[in-house]
Amino acid sequence: MGKNVLVVGGVACGAKVAARLRRLDPERTIRILEKGDTLSYAACGLPFLVGGTVPELKDLITTPVGVVRDAHFFRAVKDVEVLTGHLATRIDRAARVVTAVETATGEEKSFPYDQLVLATGASPVLPPLPGADLPGVTPLWNPSDALSMKQALDAGSVREAVVVGAGLVGLEAAEALVERGVKVTVVELLGHPLAALLDRDFGALMAQALRAAGVDFRSGTRVTGFEGEKGVLSGVRVEGEVIPAQLALVAVGVRPNVQLARDAGLEIGALGGILVDRQGRTSDPDIFAGGDCVQTFHALTGATVRQPMGSTANRQGRVIADNLAGLDTPFGGVLGTAVLRFGKTTAGRTGLSEEAAREAGFDPVGVTVTNADIPHFMPGSAPLVLRLLADRSTRRLLGAQVFGPGRGDKRLDVLATACACGATVDVLADVDLAYAPPFSSALDVVTHGANALRNKLDGRMDSCSPSELRERLEEGAVLLDVRSPSERKEQGTLPYDGVVSIPLGQLASRAEELPRDREIVAFCKISVRGWDAVGILKGKGFRRISVLEGGVVGWPYGLVRE
């Protein structure tokens, strides 16, 4: 086994490879070539640096005890040689040599290797639009981008900003700008924010949260260029309008950095990333690759995917180091798990969407529930909307989404674990989750969701999601609101004519006010009483009764006030 390991790239995956490999093999020679001047920094923290939550850049490049992770640190603590400002330009696989240019001097150097690791990352996609080269048009991808934005904000030169793209980075940046007092417009070509993460209903909930925070969110809108005055950005041009802006953040995706690998003849996958096996090996057995530059596979389907996330890069770095050290450690794939905080709102997903599950050959059945994260009598109790998806025949959990001011992150982690372990909804419903009033209700929202999905799979409950309700109404369904009059006045109601309002306590005696020849869709604040209404009406001989999933709290398409 070769002793000389060369790593190209020293941010997430590359730094993890070096650190893990040193622990496994104290005698190995390990060297990192990094084209930039900053090592092992927390790139996902850059929006929080812009917003001021993270005070200084050094906070993103230090250890928990405050030691800067620079070349000296890697040499002194890890016994790893790091050469910053060195751009790798060519791989000679036959000679096992990497050629790099020292960017400060232009000097070309050669670095031999026995085993090579490519952790070259990705680059932000910057559409070639008119005015894209104006100062003020920028991605948020590296420390210099963040520091430039922060400097402009600190100087007070940014009053209005446009964020192009409503993905994770775009929305985190939008929050940072809102926190700095900037008027923010978010422009998204697709139909709702976080379109790669959330389905239509949850995306609509996210759009509501953006607008409630003062963000001008525009879906289905295409940017056609950037305009400037005297060489300075003044606005972002969309179809038929120019939105005033002194800052335009472009966050429409990233492209894997694979040219070095491509030029060396390594195999590139169909999605544009370097092709690797589950041990991180490329088509050359002595060259490994990981992080944003590779494509990987979905743990539930085996399908080829890309997941450019810091968490994925670190996991892959550990796998690569293990295999370099002779341990046969496979990478377990990804679930597409991601989470976002915007203001007081948490939004996230793990596993498959309904569409992806169907394309993969599953027969997906989903349900949405709404409940408080902790009991209503505890300070800070807040609602959480949860959607679960399972396969009809195997009952295996396929995916989940969370949204709301309630504590969604820990629920999302439970659900990601359940998906990874192949748990069924029946197992999920009976998991012994931690309970105490400061942390959860006696039956957690995850448990409620699993039980609701069991009822649906077993044919005990018919329900419809908000996006499915319109079709039911067009087929003649009647909406039944079982809240009290005071609740309706305080919370608002659904924006449809003909809603029948009968408080739950009066339903048994007033059931004959409802038509028996049409479907009844019952709802309340969170539709728990809607489920109670189903039992009452079935006892009265009604046969076509369903529940509106999520209730009023989970309704994403606007409410009307009485």
CATH number at residue 480: 3.40.250.10
Beta strands in 373-412 (DSSP E): 383-391, 397-404
105 shares a domain with 38: yes
Q: 553 lies in a domain?
A: no
**Cα–Cα distance between 46 and 39 in angstroms, integer?**
14
Q: Which helix (H) or strand (E) holds 233?
A: strand 232-238
232 shares a domain with 171: yes
376 shares a domain with 291: no
152 shares a domain with 83: no
The CATH number given to whatever domain includes residue 417 is 3.50.50.60
Q: 333 lies in a domain?
A: no
Q: 413 lies in a domain?
A: yes
213 shares a domain with 68: no
**Per-residue pLDDT in tens (0 to 9) along the chain, 562 residues:** 568 999 999 999 999 999 999 999 999 999 999 999 888 888 899 999 999 999 999 999 999 998 989 889 999 999 999 999 999 999 999 999 999 999 999 999 999 999 999 999 999 999 999 999 999 999 999 999 999 999 999 999 999 999 999 999 999 999 999 999 999 999 999 999 999 999 999 999 999 999 999 999 999 999 999 999 888 999 999 988 999 999 999 999 999 999 999 999 999 999 999 999 999 999 999 999 999 999 999 999 999 999 999 999 999 999 999 999 999 999 999 999 999 999 999 999 999 999 999 999 999 999 999 999 999 999 999 999 999 999 999 999 999 999 999 999 999 999 999 999 999 999 999 999 999 999 999 999 999 999 999 999 999 999 999 999 999 999 999 999 999 999 999 999 999 999 999 999 999 999 999 999 999 999 999 999 999 999 999 999 999 999 999 999 999 999 998 7
472 shares a domain with 448: no
Q: 560 lies in a domain?
A: no
Q: Domain count of the chain?
A: 4
| 44 part of the active site | no
Q: 331 lies in a domain?
A: no
Last-in-domain residue among 425, 457, 489: 457
End-to-end CA distance of the chain: give it in Å, rounded: 75
Strand partners, 384: 371
Residue 50 region, left (φ>0) first, then alpha (ψ -120 to 50), else beta? alpha
Classify 263 as helix, strand or coil.
Answer: helix
116 shares a domain with 32: yes
224 shares a domain with 165: yes
467 shares a domain with 410: no
**Are residues 491 and 517 in contact, defined by beta-carbon separation less than 8 angstroms?**
no
The pLDDT assigned to 2 comes to 62
**Cα–Cα distance between 474 and 328 in angstroms, integer?**
57
Last-in-domain residue among 234, 252, 270: 252
Residue of 242, 246, 170 whose CA lies nearest to 210: 170
Q: 530 lies in a domain?
A: yes
Q: Which helix (H) or strand (E) holds 260?
A: helix 259-263
Last-in-domain residue among 298, 324, 350: 324
Q: 390 lies in a domain?
A: yes
Which one of 13, 293, 419, 524 is the catalytic residue?
524
What is the number of H-type helices and E-type strands within the chain?
A: 16, 30
**Cα–Cα distance between 444 and 528 in angstroms, integer?**
14
Single-letter amino acid, residue 351:
G
**Cα–Cα distance between 284 and 300 in angstroms, integer?**
27
Residue 240: burial class (beta carbons within 10 Å; 0-12, 13-18, 19+): exposed
Range of the domain at 418: 338-457
The two tokens of residue 125 are 């996609």
32 Cβ contact list (under 8 Å, min separation 6):
7, 8, 9, 10, 14, 15, 18, 39, 74, 80, 81, 82, 83
**Cα–Cα distance between 164 and 462 in angstroms, integer?**
40
243 shares a domain with 262: no
**Are residues 531 and 545 in contact, defined by beta-carbon separation less than 8 angstroms?**
no
Q: What is the torsion angle, in degrees rounded to the nearest 10, for the CA atoms of residue 266, residue 271, residue 276 and residue 282? A: 10
469 shares a domain with 451: no
Q: 51 lies in a domain?
A: no
275 shares a domain with 245: no
